[in-house]
Amino acid sequence: MAFEALGELLAESLPLPVEGRTYTIAAPSAEVGLRVQALINAAAVAADGGRVDEQVLSDAAERDVFRDVLGPAHDQMVSDGVSWPALKHAAITAMVWIAQDKAAAERFWNAAGDPSRLAPNRQARRSRSGGANTTKSQGSTSGTSTRPATTRAKNKRARPSR
């Protein structure tokens, strides 16, 4: 089996429908991709209560991350008068695409960035899986078991040694 051309395998752009128009987000440079990955990792560490590398965050603060991840679509969106929430959602969706993949970006986009809409709730998961399993689990079949001590063994332990 031979390797296929990488361009045919990777999603090189991300089409995002915003306020009646579709903006195409081009794949970022390796530098932007690495920076976005570092930011996503830092955010995950911070969300878990860990200590974040301040250098990663200060580097991101110095640069316009949204402009970098959206590329030319950023200026198009601004010139078209796209609302701030729409631009922000598009940029964060692009960051998800860069850090993960197109499927994760689509889930994020369609959930409008709401974490509670990203993962289905417990009731929805159960209804899709057909409900709780009512079959009792089978006991061990290893052939070993723990039995209570017999009366004879109990008496042996109770006798004083001679």
- pLDDT tens for 29-77 read 999 999 888 888 877 787 778 777 776 666 655 568 899 999 999 999 9
Judged against a pLDDT cut of 90, whether residue 17 lies above it is answered with: yes
Judged against a pLDDT cut of 90, whether residue 80 lies above it is answered with: yes
* 24 bridge partner residues: 15
pLDDT tens, position by position, 126-161? 555 555 555 555 555 555 556 666 666 555 555 665
Share the mean pLDDT of the chain.
77
d(C-alpha 40, C-alpha 57), whole Å: 10
Q: Tokens representing 100? A: 């993960």
Judged against a pLDDT cut of 80, whether residue 5 lies above it is answered with: no
pTM exceeds cut of 0.75: no
Judged against a pLDDT cut of 90, whether residue 110 lies above it is answered with: yes
Residue 88: pLDDT band by 50, 70, 90 thresholds?
very high
As a whole number, mean pLDDT of residues 89-114 equals 90
* 17 bridge partner residues: 22
